[in-house]
Chains A and B, each alone.
Chain A
């Protein structure tokens, strides 16, 4: 599998990740605060993915997938925590997505978390089995 060396292998002063970490953070903030569901979900995925990428590239972790999974878990915990704290139990229902302003946003955060957990999990397994 050793093909072309990547950009950051070739050039010590280049890394493709920072741009996307920043873009991911910007999109996440817009999505969550303005309440644009798709922007929030994709922004958070981009953010989490870039964090996994940049940590791997700079050698803080060995493989990106557990990080991605971890970011997903953190997001779900945050969303669940806020929901239990601020949303009345009776209102926690899938049919309420799109009506309660806070609840919808929290579902977006949780959805992004779930996608990241799935991606991280599947990729980890695939990597293990491929090796």
Chain B
């Protein structure tokens, strides 16, 4: 123990000295003091600025530019998507046979837990932050975020968060399984999560906590930016729909994530310092469920509102019509934001809670379907009689609407108490939320990436590969998750590593057939994502340069938004002999007057 402490002390000391040395190398902090030049951000004695950013890796480690940070978020989210996706494939392969094909029970539970947390916290929230960081300032005509440095801090909290959440996988082999991956499921229900002595659970909780801190800092930043940094032409009446959804989402984050953070700290204290927040003699195990879902349900809207905003922004562009009932789309966003805090106990219908309370939660849960449906009708009406152009982003938007309808309707079924008592903790629930998290949120993210690809890369993606990506994703998603809905009706419980229950719980033949169908769908989905990665990487490196500031031909319908106008200005300002890779930076402000 003592030896370990000494080693750790040495390591930490080396780290700290290294940090200090690095800082003195790249930064002249004496120049901050009044002794050497004003203490402002740029001392006036500085040499002629000829570039906006330092070169190479230092640029990415030190950037506070919202566009760079957006790209960093995007890269981070795509890596998390790949990790979570591989975990999902392992789960699906395991379940091809009733006895389980490749994993032991412990490994299955670890991977299941990490898959959920990775996708929700390391892919979902960051991919939204990627779009918001890059495009909100452009859409509202701001120079940057209100607090650029806080923006960078929020991003840099995420890599340590990911390492902590996955820590058990790295540490189990080197610590002789003393530290293992958490097996709590993403909901971390007590008493299970208190009783698992494994320190990997603590590390995962700390990682989640950091990601929550990051999300909260980001939310404060977006609220401040949208309120204070709009240019004079942008007012509340003509604020674009994506900014509205980010504003609402940020408000939800502001109320929900600090609560998750506190609940996690309470859980950590219960685990390490013998407090009794969730013990039977203290707050009781149900307290965790209430706290978790008071965060957890708003979280699902935190994840879905901005994608709805993306679709509301992109879908009209390829329908040749303005968004139908814009005002009502905004109102329904706000309504969902408010209502989402009043439905959390629909995750707890089967816990034996007071039936009168239960009924009121059912009522609000059914009510929240109304604003969701308003949006759906508005998207459909926007397309109605429109001049549809089935580009890749448009295909993903249409796929979003279609999948969201199935996900939403199954949600309404689950919100009804008698139905939920039968379907709770079955694959039906898994099918429901995957229609939304994969079929809707994932699809909207792809739509956004393709739609803005010219802006952030200066190049065009390959259309055929894009369409292949869409169709594989659409077909794969629907096979996989429809099979899960059927599995739920058959009574297959969720979170099982094997299913050799011989008809006692569910009819085995049908269950294995649908599991196999789900796996086939997952393979199709996976292949689709290979097209995606290939397309993005190759097109970014050598795709045809975009020469026109209006690559989607939006001018003719008068729908060229501010971000494309900005892009056009960048193209104009960028003289041809310039290094084309600088284009994405937009760091050309000083050339404007030339």
Contacts and interface: CB of A to CB of B under 8 A. Distances in A.
Interface in A33-72: 33-39, 41-43, 45-46, 53-54, 56-59, 62-64
17 contacts: A5-B46, A6-B31, A9-B31, A9-B46, A13-B52, A18-B156, A19-B62, A19-B152, A34-B202, A36-B8, A38-B8, A38-B9, A43-B12, A54-B149, A56-B33, A57-B32, A64-B29
A27 B27 CA distance: 23
A45 B16 contact: yes
Contacts of B157: 22, 25-26
Contacts of A126: none
Contact of B32 (A23, A29, A64): A64
Interface in A1-38: 1-23, 25-27, 29-30, 33-38
A80 interface: no
B575 interface: no
B587 A102 contact: no
A22 B23 contact: no
B273 A7 contact: no
Interface in B27-54: 27-37, 39-43, 45-47, 49, 51-54
A52 to B, nearest CB: 10
Given A39-B8, A39-B12, 14 more contacts: A9-B43, A10-B49, A14-B54, A14-B58, A16-B27, A18-B62, A18-B64, A21-B153, A25-B213, A30-B164, A33-B272, A46-B16, A58-B149, A64-B29
A42 B46 contact: no
Best-buried of A8, A21, A39, A62 by chain B (most CB within 10 Å): A8
A15 B49 contact: no
Contacts of B16: 42, 45-46
Contact of B15 (A2, A10, A42): A42
A19 B11 CA distance: 19
Interface of A: 1-23, 25-27, 29-30, 33-39, 41-43, 45-46, 53-54, 56-59, 62-64, 101-102, 127, 131
A56 B34 CA distance: 11
B148 interface: yes
B187 to A, nearest CB: 21
Nearest to B26: A7
A57 B42 CA distance: 9
Given A18-B64, A37-B5, A9 B42 contact: yes
Nearest to B587: A13
B587 to A, nearest CB: 7
Contacts of A2: 31, 36-37, 45
B19 interface: yes
Contact of A53 (B29, B45, B148, B587): B29
B180 interface: no
B299 interface: no
A109 B552 CA distance: 56
A15 B210 contact: no
Interface in B54-70: 54, 58-59, 61-65, 68
Contacts of A7: 26-28, 54, 58, 62
Given A11-B52, A16-B26, A26 B62 contact: no
Nearest to A42: B12
A16 B49 CA distance: 18
A80 B306 CA distance: 44
A5 B272 contact: no
Nearest to B49: A10
B45 A5 contact: yes
Nearest to B67: A13
